[in-house]
A and B are shown apart, each in its own frame.
Chain A
Amino acid sequence: MSFIVIEAVSKTYQAAAGEAAVTVLEEVSAELEASEFVCLMGPSGSGKSTLLTIVGAMNRPTTGTVSVDGIDVYALADERRADFRREYLGFVFQQHHLLPYLNALENALLPLAVSSRPTTQKRERALSVLERVGLADKAKRLPNQLSGGEQGRLAIARALVNEPPLLLADEPTGALDSKTGREVMEVFLTLNAQGQAIFMVTHNAENAALADRVIHLQDGHIVYGASV
């Protein structure tokens, strides 16, 4: 069985009062292998973010199932699903969503805050991921003292600190110019070369071309790339 199995996932959003409900995904099925780098593309509003958050165990599909490493994600109770996100997944958001009042090291440490590991061990881990994304010398800086590219890399560091088997990224280069976007993309490629599975939404065809595979989403259906 594949590492991630998306099976007949549909998602209908209950729209605001007076509006018709919108079905964003219709019977979507796809598979991802461990250590694969897959990009998700498609026009705006086609449901890419929706699919990513569904795989990300934080957006329950209307029907269908998602299993990661053999675990039926939405069969888990809510608190257990939070634990699952912490252990299995790393998230990189388009807006990075760094906490502005924590410095780089603290932001990288954030997912470890709920772990009972000793503090020194947590620090070591955070410092090592900062090193991996090339921010070791900027550990004490607040997010607004970092460049856009550095913020993106810090977001990746935070996603990696728990050593999750799967990295999820929603347009991580979307807010960056092409040069800094490239910088962030390099980090992803290096990680993938080390065996990290990555599922990434992008609008950038150039970046997508660097991935192992591209899934194309349109009108709620996968047009191509559903499996290897």
Chain B
Amino acid sequence: MRISSIAFANLKRRKGKALFLIVGIAIGIGTAIALVTLSASITEEIGTQLDRFGANIVVVPQANSLSLDYGGVSVSSVSFDVQQLRDEDAKNVRDIPYKERLSIISPKLLGAVKIADQEVLLAGVDFKSELLLKSWWQITGEEPQGERDVLVGYEAARALSLIESTGEMATQKPMNHAQMDSTSPSLEAEPFKIIQPRLLIAGSEHRVAGVLAPTGAPDDRMVFAPLTQVQAMLKKPGELSVIEVSALCKDCPVADIVAQIAERLPQARVSAIQQSVRARTATVERLTRFATVVAALVLVIAALMIFTSMTASILERTKEIGVLRAIGFRKSHIIKSLLIEVGVISVIGGLLGWAAGMLASVIALPYFAETQIAIPIRAELLVGALGAGLLVGILSSLYPIISAARRDPAESVRAI
């Protein structure tokens, strides 16, 4: 017989009440865990999106104007006397002090060309970095290999009659899987196949290596070809119209990187484009704050529940506590025994709450996240759940416990 045996005997005797308290704590902790896990996972997702979803810094020549437009960057077809960006500038970007933070540098030359009587925007790119930068591209066909391979945007391909729909998608479900993957883009479009693999650009023949699924971006109306090829065709050797830079960024100093690039390239305009992700980050921050408030509220309610339940259960035991005091239990022994009871309840509640919270967030995550992300099992969250459970349990029962231990034993024994 130890003090803990009394605590456990009491727990066993009041199973129903203990269970009620455990569930109360578990709900509180579970809500908190689910909310914390969800908002952490979504924040994490945004971080990886920042890294993956293309450029967050764009370098263009100063004071350029006119005609064609590429994602908010104007592309001149008429050359003013502005200083153009050149191949060396892309190398210069790679040389800034923060160069380790740069994951992708993708130089481009843009220009309008006529293909089969259609005005098309032609982009000269380094395919290796461009494909990294635009990881969301879904290519029907293959990635460009040779000097004369091009990628064509969906709308451009349709306008140029390079592709043909392969039937109504709804009725033709059973498709081979690989094909399904490469032809079912995020935007609704019919599956298609390439019917015309040859393309005559500025008099020279090119091979349509692949066609992009619709992206909703200007890319849809463009033709992508190797940079040197395009520089030759447009007769602008060594020239660039834009350098897109992707920094490895979750919390990285984009502003500093922008400043460093601007210093290297005084003739260029360097700007950060993060707005959409920023907006999402702000939403998540608001969600996180809301989640924190809700979790705190639930925990406070759980605490109140424990307070009333413990007060009642201790009141019920006034006589018993008086007897224990009379036969020589110290106040501290009484407190210890009651705290063990609350502690066991809190730890089990915390553990169950953690498990429930993790489960709930796994179930709920698909409704909040845009991509598939796994919820990591983090030890500190389990420790946090147990700690929070104990804190709530002990804080809310401390008052009834201490006042019970302090009650005069003669009085308690007499009271019956």
Q: A101-B9, A101-B13, A106-B9 are in contact. Are A79 and B332 (CB under 8 A)?
A: yes
Q: Does A199 contact B (CB under 8 A)?
A: no
Q: Does A208 contact B (CB under 8 A)?
A: no
Q: Is the CB of A95 within 8 A of B416?
A: yes
Among A64-72, A84-92, A187-195, which stretch is in contact with chain B?
A84-92
Q: Does A21 contact B (CB under 8 A)?
A: no
Contacts of A109 in B (CB 8 A): 1
Interface residues of B in 371-416 (CB under 8 A from A): 408-410, 413-414, 416
Bound complex: CA A112 to CA B327 (Å)? 10
Q: Is the CB of A58 within 8 A of B410?
A: yes
Interface residues of A in 82-127 (CB under 8 A from B): 82-87, 89-91, 93, 95, 97, 99, 101-102, 106, 109-114, 119, 122, 126
Bound complex: CA A173 to CA B319 (Å)? 20
Q: Is the CB of A58 within 8 A of B319?
A: no
Contacts of B329 in A (CB 8 A): 82, 86, 113-114
Contacts of A56 in B (CB 8 A): 326, 410
Q: Is the CB of A114 within 8 A of B328?
A: yes
Q: Does A53 contact B (CB under 8 A)?
A: yes
B154 to chain A, nearest CB (A): 75
Q: Does A63 contact B (CB under 8 A)?
A: no
User: For A56, A85, A87, A112, which residue has the most chain B Cβ atoms within 10 angstroms?
Assistant: A85
Contact of A58 among B10, B13, B320, B409 (CB under 8 A): B409
Q: Does B344 contact A (CB under 8 A)?
A: no
Q: Does A204 contact B (CB under 8 A)?
A: no
Q: Is the CB of B327 within 8 A of A99?
A: no
Contact of B323 among A84, A89, A93 (CB under 8 A): A93
Bound complex: CA A71 to CA B328 (Å)? 16
Q: A53-B410, A59-B410, A79-B331 are in contact. Are A106 and B1 (CB under 8 A)?
A: yes
Q: A106-B9, A114-B3 are in contact. Are A97 and B323 (CB under 8 A)?
A: yes
Give a binary string over B30-70; 1 marks a CB under 8 Å from any A CB, 0 the rest: 00000000000000000000000000000000000000000
Bound complex: CA A207 to CA B33 (Å)? 66
Q: Does B2 contact A (CB under 8 A)?
A: yes
Contacts of A102 in B (CB 8 A): 6, 9
Q: Does B73 contact A (CB under 8 A)?
A: no
Q: Does B308 contact A (CB under 8 A)?
A: no
Q: Is the CB of A49 within 8 A of B326?
A: no
Closest to B406 in A: A78
User: For A49, A58, A85, A110, which residue has the most chain B Cβ atoms within 10 angstroms?
Assistant: A58
Interface residues of B in 323-379 (CB under 8 A from A): 323-333
How many chain B residues touch A (CB < 8 A): the figure is 28
Q: Does A158 contact B (CB under 8 A)?
A: yes
Q: Does B274 contact A (CB under 8 A)?
A: no
Contact of A113 among B1, B13, B416 (CB under 8 A): B1
Q: Is the CB of A87 within 8 A of B328?
A: yes
Closest to A80 in B: B330
Q: Is the CB of B328 within 8 A of A85?
A: yes
Closest to A85 in B: B328
Q: Does B283 contact A (CB under 8 A)?
A: no
Q: A78-B331, A95-B416 are in contact. Are A85 and B6 (CB under 8 A)?
A: no
Contacts of A196 in B (CB 8 A): none
Q: Does A162 contact B (CB under 8 A)?
A: yes
Contacts of A111 in B (CB 8 A): 327-328
User: For B6, B324, B328, B413, which residue has the most chain A Cβ atoms within 10 angstroms?
Assistant: B328
User: For B319, B320, B330, which residue has the most chain A Cβ atoms within 10 angstroms?
Assistant: B330
Contacts of B3 in A (CB 8 A): 113-114
Bound complex: CA A82 to CA B333 (Å)? 10
Interface residues of A in 140-182 (CB under 8 A from B): 158-159, 162
Bound complex: CA A97 to CA B416 (Å)? 10
Contacts of B161 in A (CB 8 A): none
Contact of B413 among A97, A114, A159 (CB under 8 A): A97
Q: Does B92 contact A (CB under 8 A)?
A: no
Q: Is the CB of B333 within 8 A of A114?
A: yes
Give a binary string over B3-42; 1 marks a CB under 8 Å from any A CB, 0 the rest: 1011001101100000000000000000000000000000
Contacts of B416 in A (CB 8 A): 95
Contacts of A97 in B (CB 8 A): 319-320, 323, 413
B361 to chain A, nearest CB (A): 40
A174 to chain B, nearest CB (A): 14
B406 to chain A, nearest CB (A): 9
Interface residues of B in 248-262 (CB under 8 A from A): none
Q: Is the CB of B331 within 8 A of A99?
A: no
A181 to chain B, nearest CB (A): 20
Q: Is the CB of B327 within 8 A of A85?
A: yes
Q: Is the CB of A82 within 8 A of B328?
A: yes
Contacts of A126 in B (CB 8 A): 1
Contacts of B1 in A (CB 8 A): 106, 109-110, 112-113, 119, 122, 126
Bound complex: CA A159 to CA B323 (Å)? 11
Interface residues of chain B, those whose CB is within 8 Å of chain A, are 1-3, 5-6, 9-10, 12-13, 319-320, 323-333, 408-410, 413-414, 416
Q: List 14 A-B contacts (CB under 8 A).
A: A53-B410, A56-B326, A58-B409, A79-B331, A82-B328, A83-B328, A85-B326, A95-B416, A97-B319, A97-B320, A97-B323, A99-B323, A110-B1, A114-B333
Interface residues of chain A, those whose CB is within 8 Å of chain B, are 49, 53, 56, 58-59, 78-79, 82-87, 89-91, 93, 95, 97, 99, 101-102, 106, 109-114, 119, 122, 126, 158-159, 162
Known: A53-B410, A83-B328, A110-B327. 16 other contacts (CB 8 A): A49-B414, A56-B410, A58-B325, A79-B330, A79-B332, A82-B330, A91-B327, A97-B319, A97-B413, A99-B323, A101-B10, A101-B12, A102-B6, A106-B5, A111-B328, A119-B1
* Shortest Cβ-Cβ A-B pairs, 5 listed: A86-B328, A109-B1, A59-B410, A53-B410, A82-B330
